[in-house]
Copies of this chain bind each other. A is one copy, B any other.
Amino acid sequence: MFREIAIIAPGAMGSAVARRLLEHGIRVTTLLEGRSVESRRRADDAGMIGVEPTRLVEADIIFSIVPPAQALPLAETIAPLLRQSHRKPIFVDCNAVSVETVTRVAGVIEASGAPFADAGIIGGPPVPGGAGPTFYMSGTPALELDALNDVGLQTVVMEGPIGTASALKMSYAGITKGLTGIAAAMILAAVRGGAAASLHKELGLSQAQLLQRFGKSLPDMYPKAYRWVAEMREIAAFAGDDPASARLYQALADFYETIADDYEGPQANTQAIDDFLRLKD
């Protein structure tokens, strides 16, 4: 049974997972050095305990929950501490990274003597007293992590080596976030072409489920678009055995970059999408 779990970092997902674990009697530690005021407040609110890096590796499990580009640097920071430590917690990479990236992360961690599991989180952060995401896990050490189901985290241990959980995460996100991207791109193109009202009406008639989905998925996306840029690049690498698929997700990364820039600045595109979604037929 697990008593202490370390979660890096206390972002929206990490702090909500921490809160869920705390509700189930788990002590949750984290690193706060160099974190923003907002992260420190989130960690505090969730009941996470800020500790020194050398103390962090005393946990039973370390969850890495960071933006895709930080997955490997974080592992490289933690690996020397794991090497020096007598305790060897299971290091679980929960990030939206390609099979190639997670394999490199695994190599860094395993060289320290600590066991490594691959994880893909599907779904949004746990809601207090409500639903939570599913943690898909792969790699041999994942077998021990089935017990996370007993402490509030819905966990599915997959057959398959390290990389299998990330392949699931990438393909799932590729479909759901890919759909959001093409919808945003085509709505903006329809607006430019003077066809927005007709597109809204026709979608309502013949694609009502999609139109209803866009009403929530598009506005939810704007503040996350900057994170999705890196995630789309990971999906491009994941799909790289097919060059056309790789180019498709590279283009989606570039598109989300334009959305992120617009959202930080003039909000002309996000406003145009909002106006589209509010049309009455």
Shortest beta-carbon distance from A170 to chain B in Å: 7
Query: Nearest chain B CB to A58's CB is how many angstroms away?
Result: 33
Q: How many residues of A contact B (CB 8 A)?
A: 61
User: Within A222-267, which residues are at the interface with B (CB < 8 Å)?
Assistant: 238-239, 241-245, 247-248, 250-252, 254-255, 257-258
CB-based contact A185/B99 at 8 Å: no
A195 interfacial by beta-carbon distance below 8 Å: yes
A78 at the interface (CB under 8 A from B): no
Given contacts A174-B182, A193-B171, contact A251 B247 (CB under 8 A): yes
A192 to chain B: closest CB distance in Å? 6
Q: Which residues of B contact A195 (CB under 8 A)?
A: 158, 160, 164-165, 167-168, 171
Contacts of A172 in B (CB 8 A): 186, 199, 202-203
Known: A242-B185, A248-B251, A251-B247. A194 touches B257 (CB 8 A): no
The reply on A277 being an interface residue by CB < 8 A is no
Which residues of A are at the interface with B, using a C-beta cutoff of 8 A? Answer: 99, 122-123, 134, 136, 156, 158, 160-161, 163-168, 170-172, 174-176, 178-179, 181-183, 185-190, 192-195, 198-199, 202-203, 206-207, 209-210, 213, 238-239, 241-245, 247-248, 250-252, 254-255, 257-258
* Closest 4 pairs between A and B when the two form their complex, measured CB to CB: A167-B193, A171-B190, A244-B254, A167-B195
